[in-house]
């Protein structure tokens, strides 16, 4: 592990999905589900779900840039959710499910904007990318029962129907970036 870890905060629908995807990657040292980008201090899950806080469900990811770069983090981000749907991922609808990159440095902002332009130009998605790129201000850790949700509840319906396919896709397409799970 390098002496300098980086942190980024990403929203791509339900934070359980984002958390589960990034927990699989080599070089990622922690993933914490939470809320950011809104106007309410210390929001609860219920408040965020009501849609009046302005917060997005996000995962705050701490990673070793000597093992996995921010570009790699974004490469996975663009391919494990639909960044072209405004305030929606599948059946999850509302501003709390928006696609968002909350950068923690000017360098991350520049990389994120370039990555978004390049991904849009590559026509990975048939519609234009609507992902917000904004500074991360305050991050609020979600309640304990939201942490490690997929790992703790692999047979829960949502996990089986929504998260499992993302993990299978990740394992198939990004195997060289995965943690040694064996």
CA torsion 23-28-30-33 (nearest 10°) is: -50
Q: How confident is the model at residue 173 (pLDDT cuts 50, 70, 90)?
A: confident
pLDDT above 90 for 46: yes
pLDDT value for 170: 87
pTM (two decimals): 0.93
Q: What is the pLDDT of residues 25-39, one digit of tens each?
A: 999 999 999 999 999
pLDDT above 80 for 20: yes
pLDDT value for 1: 58
In the chain the domains, ranked by start, together with CATH numbers, are: 6-174 (3.30.1060.10)
pLDDT above 90 for 167: yes
Instruction: Determine the Cα–Cα distance for residues 175 and 26; give it in Å rounded to an integer.
Output: 10
pLDDT value for 174: 76
Pick the range with the lowest mean pLDDT from 22-26, 152-156, 165-169: 165-169
Between residues 1 and 150, which one has the greater pLDDT? 150
User: Which one, of 23, 60, 64, 68, lies nearest residue 181 by Cα?
Assistant: 23
Instruction: Determine the Cα–Cα distance for residues 104 and 102; give it in Å rounded to an integer.
Output: 7
CB 129 within 8 A of CB 116: yes
Q: What is the pLDDT of residues 107-146, one digit of tens each?
A: 999 999 999 999 999 999 999 999 999 999 999 999 999 9
CB 13 within 8 A of CB 90: yes
Q: Please provide the average confidence, as pLDDT, over all residues in the chain.
A: 93
Q: How confident is the model at residue 182 (pLDDT cuts 50, 70, 90)?
A: very low
Positions marked catalytic:
14
CB 89 within 8 A of CB 55: no
């Amino acid at each position: 592990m390098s002496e300098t870890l980086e942190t980024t905060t990403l929203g791509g629908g339900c934070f359980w999905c984002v958390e589960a995807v990034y927990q699989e990657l080599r070089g990622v040292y922690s993933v914490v589900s939470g809320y950011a980008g809104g106007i309410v201090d210390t929001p609860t899950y219920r408040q965020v779900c009501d849609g009046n806080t302005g917060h997005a469900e996000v995962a705050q990811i701490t990673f070793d840039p000597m093992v996995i770069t921010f570009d790699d983090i974004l490469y996975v981000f663009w391919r494990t959710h639909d960044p072209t749907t405004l305030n929606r991922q599948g059946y999850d609808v509302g501003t709390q499910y928006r696609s968002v990159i909350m950068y923690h440095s000017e360098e991350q902002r520049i990389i994120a904007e370039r990555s978004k332009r390049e991904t849009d130009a590559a026509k990975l998605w048939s519609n234009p990318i609507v992902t917000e790129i904004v500074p991360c201000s305050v991050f609020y850790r979600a309640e304990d029962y939201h942490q490690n949700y997929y790992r703790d509840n692999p047979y829960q319906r949502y996990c089986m129907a929504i998260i499992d396919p993302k993990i299978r896709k990740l394992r198939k397409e990004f195997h060289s970036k995965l943690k040694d799970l064996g």
